[in-house]
Amino acid sequence: MRHHGRMHAQPGVGLRPDAPWGYLPASSFRSRRSALSDAQRQTWERLWPQLGRQADAGETPGETPDTPLDAPLDTRAWFGRSAPLVLEIGCGSGTSTLAMAQAEPDIDVIAVEIYRRGLAQLLCAIDAEQVGNIRLIRGNGVDVLKDLIAPQSLTGVRVFFPDPWPKARHHKRRLLQTGTVSLIAHRLLPGGVLHAATDHPGYAEHIGAVGDAEPRLVRADPDSESLPISISRPTTKYETKAQEAGSHVCEFVWKRI
């Protein structure tokens, strides 16, 4: 099954034992050069300079390089206001991103994705729906968290259906490792939320274990406590296919203490 938001690491790119967060997943990814439609290209050229940023100074052949981002991000200047901030890692084509941002207009959302075509699809949807509280970053979510996001600045982090890397020898490439979850906790405000979802049983067990082992996070019960962001997300077409195939979606919600 194809998953929106999945990012695939290059073979041979190892972990970083020297990182202060412990072991983080590989930080280099292949860039799929899927061609944009004429409409997508026109929207990209018109809106990307305002709504999008490249996480580093690199470029794909044939594309105009962005100006490198200053760290940490000045989100107040970028959005033109001060508001609670949510980071979504691996937004894919942005179905969930758009719907959840529309439902919470008082919350600002930064959507991170490595693939240009997915970001172009989201950019076109933002344009069509005139949604003003989404910004986009093209790059690796771990690098964005590590290099661009200030400590205790996020009200929420969303990770929906990351690549499960099902083979045992590839488990080290999974996004939600101990080091990444520690980094997420460091970037969350007290009371901030980590919301993750997967339809892969083995990855669900892994996510639950690493999330529960992080001392700054506790499981949240959305039915009995108030959370600063909504955890109600739309069912995407990929999730529908998974459910029809008999897969069960596991949701995880932690709160920073």
Contact indicator for 60, 33 with CB cutoff of 8 Å = yes
Among candidate residues 155, 162, 148, the one with its CA nearest the CA of residue 202:
162
Residue 106 tokens, joined: 């008082």
Provide the edge-to-edge strand list for the sheet that holds 154-160: 52-54, 134-138, 108-113, 85-89, 154-160, 188-198, 250-256, 217-219
Active site residue 212: no
Does the bond joining 72 to the residue before it have cis omega, within 30 degrees of 0? Answer: yes
If DSSP codes are grouped into helix, strand and coil, which group holds residue 125?
helix
If DSSP codes are grouped into helix, strand and coil, which group holds residue 40?
helix
User: Of the listed 18, 38, 108, 163, which one is catalytic?
Assistant: 163
List active site positions: 163
